[in-house]
């Protein structure tokens, strides 16, 4: 069974909700596929990335019953950067999870 982008988006949105509980109203991360995470106009700083990654990994393990380390080495892949937006990160994670489940 394939893991859908929609399932990953739900996980990402839950993780953002957790982060937003820690931020003041003016620093809240917008919950949208188009939200820019890193780079120019990005919503996350280095500590935010660490907290976001931990929240994602915990939710993936709870939802799918497998440990999955979010590949942070992809943080600067240029134009192919999966961290550019929530939508691109969801696409990337769904692909990585589906590829890892084939074995």
Tell whether pTM > 0.85.
Answer: yes
In angstroms and rounded to an integer, the radius of gyration of the C-alpha atoms of the chain is 13
Which residue's entry shows tokens 């919950």? 31
* 86: three-class secondary structure by DSSP: helix
| HEC string for 53-67 | HHHHHHHHHHHHCCC
Per-residue pLDDT in tens (0 to 9) along the chain, 103 residues:
789 999 999 999 999 999 999 877 767 899 999 999 888 888 888 888 899 999 999 999 999 988 888 877 766 655 567 888 999 999 999 999 998 875 4
| Domains of the chain listed by start with CATH number | 5-100 (1.10.1200.10)
């Amino acid at each position: 069974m394939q893991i859908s982008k929609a399932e990953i988006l739900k996980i990402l949105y839950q993780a953002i909700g957790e982060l937003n509980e820690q931020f003041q109203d003016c620093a809240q991360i917008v919950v949208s596929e188009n939200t820019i995470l890193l780079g120019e106009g990005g919503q996350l700083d280095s500590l935010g990335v660490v907290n976001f990654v931990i929240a994602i990994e915990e939710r993936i393990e709870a939802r799918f019953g497998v440990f999955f380390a979010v590949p942070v080495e992809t943080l600067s892949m240029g134009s192919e950067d999966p961290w550019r937006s929530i939508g691109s990160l969801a696409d990337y994670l769904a692909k990585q999870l589906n590829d890892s489940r084939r074995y």
